[in-house]
């Protein structure tokens, strides 16, 4: 009793508040617990986790980097990744189809940062990249249970790979289109990106670039069909000055004319116009156009026996964040699979992002022959290519003659498309001299002579080195 009295006498406002706070606290804990029990009872995500799963030969194996949201366990996170990207959903269901066991993916190899998910091939539509990406690139990237998710790579099974036709030329373009024993294929994009009329683009810039020794002239990624430089006009003028340059130089000249279009019918019309004007290539902005448009363009290119230059504008929206989005490596894999002949994949030394480790791993993967490449833990999955031809890497973005030895140190010169813009047209002696300076830097590297030594007898290179030396633009 005394105790009680003491306690009751000692009790004051502060104690009552403290008592109420504890009561509220435990009530919340209790309902949260109930709530999480409810969640557990109603969700079946953990049925898509199986550490003992033995991957089957035909499985597609996706490698994800993930970070679970606060309070979410790794299992709760990876169960959601495997479930929502295959056949599951957030709650248990009252009726399940007979085929369900055949369409479930399993998270089977994981730690707190990466997970490999095995998908049965039956769940994908053969020959369709959009269908593939609606699964492994779909809802899972928006789930609240994940703070971040990045599709780093996926090993595509042979049955799926063989349902595509791949590039028409790939790396064979060097010999088959340009009749050159070895690369690089050289290209320059008129700068400024926009502002020339169709005729100025061809007569004042493209012609000078070809006369300076370049194989190709490339449309910039945002040059399509503007009032001041209409697509049909540009094709006609560029064809006229290509013929002039070919005649005067005796070399094959081509162009990467940008057919990126508002719809598939217009895309087909533009490709046909480029073909009918005698070009062997066309260019398409692969990300902004979308996978269906790229697959359509690849099928049309096959009909016309044309090569595709793939520009990747917009890729950095989802490739540069190392913990969320999709790797450039996997985007490049999809482009080779669909049939793009050459694709921008970065320079390391230029103005745009891309780690040397991932760029080299990507270059190896897109150039690999039938037996493909091996795994690089956490970065690249093994991948066999069968009959899909190798795709050429394009090195571009902030390049000038002074940086070319470093670029060739990463890519070599044999299987490469080298693309410059400002680094030729910013040359103090003009556009043709700028192209010539880049060609001289290539020759110097091939002959094993330093640029400074070579510049002693090549004034265009000397002028380029005087302006830019070896600066790395950002």
Query: Least distance (Å) from Mg ion to the CB of residue 204?
Result: 18
191 belongs to the catalytic site: yes
Query: Least distance (Å) from ligand CAP to the CB of residue 322?
Result: 17
**Is residue 167 near ligand CAP by the rule CB under 6 A?**
no
352 makes contact, choosing from ligand CAP, Mg ion, none, with CB < 5 to 8 Å by partner type, with ligand CAP
**Is residue 219 near Mg ion by the rule CB under 5 A?**
no
**Is residue 310 near ligand CAP by the rule CB under 6 A?**
no
- Interface residue with Mg ion among 221, 254, 285, 432 (CB under 5 A) is 221
311 belongs to the catalytic site: yes
Query: Least distance (Å) from Mg ion to the CB of residue 396?
Result: 7
Residues 384 to 403 in contact with ligand CAP, rule: CB under 6 A: 396-399
Does residue 65 contact residue 150 with C-beta atoms inside 8 Å?
A: yes
Q: Which of 275, 309, 311, 458 is catalytic?
A: 311
- Give the pair of three-digit tokens for residue 454: 């070579």
Q: How far apart are CA 40 and CA 29, in angstroms?
A: 16
Does residue 337 contact residue 374 with C-beta atoms inside 8 Å?
A: no
Pick 152 or 396: Cβ nearer Mg ion: 396
346 makes contact, choosing from Mg ion, ligand CAP, none, with CB < 5 to 8 Å by partner type, with ligand CAP
DSSP 8-state class, residue 359: H
- Could you tell me which residues are beta bridge partners of residue 283? 258, 309
Residue nearest to ligand CAP (CB): 421
Query: Least distance (Å) from ligand CAP to the CB of residue 248?
Result: 25
Count of residues interacting with ligand CAP (CB under 6 A): 18
Contacts of 106 (CB under 8 A, 6+ apart): 48, 49, 50, 53, 82, 117, 118
420 makes contact, choosing from ligand CAP, Mg ion, none, with CB < 5 to 8 Å by partner type, with ligand CAP
Q: Which of 104, 191, 253, 315 is catalytic?
A: 191
Residue 70 dihedral angles phi and psi, to the nearest 5°: -55, 135
Q: How far apart are CA 193 and CA 218, in angstroms?
A: 11
Ordered DSSP codes for 55-90: --TT-EEEEEEEEEPTT--HHHHHHHHHHHTTT--S
- Give the pair of three-digit tokens for residue 67: 């970070």
Residues 192 to 251 in contact with ligand CAP, rule: CB under 6 A: 193, 220-221
Pick 26 or 228: Cβ nearer Mg ion: 228
Cα angle 422, 298, 252 (rounded to 5 degrees) comes to: 50
Residue 5 burial class via C-beta count within 10 angstroms: exposed 0-12, middle 13-18, buried 19 and up? exposed
Count of residues interacting with Mg ion (CB under 5 A): 2
Query: Least distance (Å) from ligand CAP to the CB of residue 425?
Result: 8
Query: Least distance (Å) from Mg ion to the CB of residue 73?
Result: 45
Cα angle 282, 287, 289 (rounded to 5 degrees) comes to: 65
Ordered DSSP codes for 185-225: EEEE--SSSS---HHHIIIIIIHHHHHTT-SEEE--TT-SS
Q: Which range of residues in 20-28, 216-224, 285-293, 347-355 is near Mg ion by CB under 5 A?
A: 216-224
Query: Least distance (Å) from Mg ion to the CB of residue 220?
Result: 4
- Give the pair of three-digit tokens for residue 389: 């031809």
**Is residue 150 near ligand CAP by the rule CB under 6 A?**
no
Beta strands 114-119 and 106-110: pairing type? antiparallel
The CA distances from residue 44 to 90, 93, 107, 138, 397, in Å, are 7, 9, 13, 19, 47
344 makes contact, choosing from Mg ion, ligand CAP, none, with CB < 5 to 8 Å by partner type, with ligand CAP
Q: Which range of residues in 125-133, 196-204, 219-227, 330-338 is near Mg ion by CB under 5 A?
A: 219-227
- Interface residue with ligand CAP among 120, 212, 325, 421 (CB under 6 A) is 421
**Is residue 363 near ligand CAP by the rule CB under 6 A?**
no
71-86 b/e (C-beta count within 10 Å ≥ 16 → b): ebebebbbbbbbbbbb
Q: Which range of residues in 81-89, 213-221, 319-327, 447-455 is near Mg ion by CB under 5 A?
A: 213-221
Could you list the residues that contact Mg ion (CB under 5 A)?
Answer: 220-221
The catalytic residue positions are 191, 311
Could you list the residues that contact ligand CAP (CB under 6 A)?
Answer: 189, 191, 193, 220-221, 312, 344, 346, 351-352, 396-399, 420-423
């Amino acid at each position: 009793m005394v105790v009680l009295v003491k306690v009751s006498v000692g009790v004051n406002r502060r104690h009552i508040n403290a008592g109420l706070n504890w009561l509220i606290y435990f009530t919340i804990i209790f309902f949260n617990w109930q709530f999480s029990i409810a969640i557990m009872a109603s969700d079946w995500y953990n049925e898509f986790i199986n550490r003992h799963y033995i991957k089957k030969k035909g499985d597609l194996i996706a490698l994800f980097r993930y970070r679970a949201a606060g309070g979410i366990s790794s299992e709760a996170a990876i169960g959601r990744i495997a479930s929502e990207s295959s056949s599951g959903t957030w709650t248990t269901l009252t009726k399940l189809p007979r085929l369900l066991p055949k369409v479930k993916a399993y998270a089977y190899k994981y730690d707190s940062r990466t997970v490999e998910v095995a998908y049965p091939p039956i769940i994908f539509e053969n020959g369709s990249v959009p269908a593939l990406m609606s699964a492994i690139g779909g809802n899972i990237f928006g789930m609240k249970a994940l703070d971040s998710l990045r599709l780093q790579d996926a090993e595509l099974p042979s049955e799926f790979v063989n349902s595509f036709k791949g590039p028409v030329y790939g790396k064979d373009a060097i010999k088959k289109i340009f009749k050159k024993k070895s690369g690089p294929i050289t290209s320059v994009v008129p700068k400024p990106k926009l502002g020339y009329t169709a005729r100025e683009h061809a007569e004042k810039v493209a012609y000078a670039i070809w006369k300076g020794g370049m194989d190709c002239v490339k449309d910039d990624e945002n040059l399509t069909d503007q009032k001041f430089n209409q697509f049909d006009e540009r094709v006609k003028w560029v064809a006229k000055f290509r013929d002039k340059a070919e005649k005067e130089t005796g070399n094959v000249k081509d162009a990467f004319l940008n057919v990126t279009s508002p719809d598939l019918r217009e895309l087909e019309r533009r490709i046909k116009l480029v073909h009918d004007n005698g070009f062997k290539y066309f260019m398409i902005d692969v990300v902004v156009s979308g996978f269906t448009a790229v697959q359509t363009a690849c099928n049309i290119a096959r009909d016309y026996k044309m090569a595709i230059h793939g520009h990747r504008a917009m890729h950095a929206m989802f490739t540069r964040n190392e913990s969320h989005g999709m790797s450039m490596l996997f985007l490049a894999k999809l482009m080779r699979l669909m049939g793009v002949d050459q694709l921008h994949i970065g320079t390391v030394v230029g103005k745009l992002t891309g780690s040397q480790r991932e760029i080299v791993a990507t270059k190896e993967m897109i150039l690999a022959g039938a037996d493909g490449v091996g795994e690089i833990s956490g970065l690249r999955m093994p991948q066999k290519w069968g009959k899909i031809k190798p795709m050429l890497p394009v090195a571009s973005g902030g390049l000038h003659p002074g940086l070319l030895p470093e670029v060739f140190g990463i890519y070599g010169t044999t299987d490469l498309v080298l693309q410059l813009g400002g680094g030729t047209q910013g040359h103090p002696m003009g556009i043709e001299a700028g192209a010539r300076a880049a060609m001289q830097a290539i020759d110097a590297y091939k002959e094993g002579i330093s640029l400074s030594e070579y510049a002693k007898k090549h004034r265009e290179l000397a002028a380029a080195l005087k302006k830019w030396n070896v600066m790395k633009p950002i």
